[in-house]
Amino acid sequence: MCAYLQDRKWTSFGAVNAYWREYVGLNSLWGVGVAASGLVIILGTGALAQQAPDADAAALRGQRLFLRCASCHSISDGGAARIGPNLKDVVGRKAGSLPGYTYSPALKSSTLVWDEATLDRWLTDPAALVPGTAMAFAGLPKAEDRAAIIAYLKHPAH
């Protein structure tokens, strides 16, 4: 293994991972226990190693999909309301509660809180969730698109 790394002048974990994939046939070092002098070191699990990249990928995809929303909504700190309210920190917020924005009476009087499940239902069909809403949006039919936008709304810094 040392010759492999020296030939490539790599010293990163990625190089070690490449070595294991190429020469040992393992897809990843994650989940492999390394025995040394009777001590076992667990490097992690595949599920944990893949959660962050999957979440990041969903948020990045959501950022691209959010461009459809950006003509009506901002998502920045202190961003001005447009046709729709600023969506910064919307996850966990009570629907119709952002100060300085005039909501429809239907949304303002709703008891909704914007959690993932509620946002998914809203993005599917806003008028079905809150009849009388002023939001003129037909909805997103694909569950993966809704999930990506929700991931972005949770972490818009991506």
10-residue stretch averages of pLDDT, the chain, 158 residues long: 42 44 41 36 38 75 94 90 94 95 96 98 97 94 96 85
Cα separation, 79 vs 91, in Å, equals: 16
**The listed CATH number (3.40.50.2000, 1.10.760.10, 3.40.50.620, 1.10.10.350) that belongs to domain 51-154:** 1.10.760.10
What are the residue ranges of helices labelled H in 66-142? 105-108, 116-124, 126-129
CB neighbours of 105 closer than 8 A, spacing ≥ 6?
132
29 within 8 A of 16, measured Cβ to Cβ:
yes
- pTM, rounded to two decimals: 0.65
Per-domain residue ranges of the chain: 2-44, 51-154
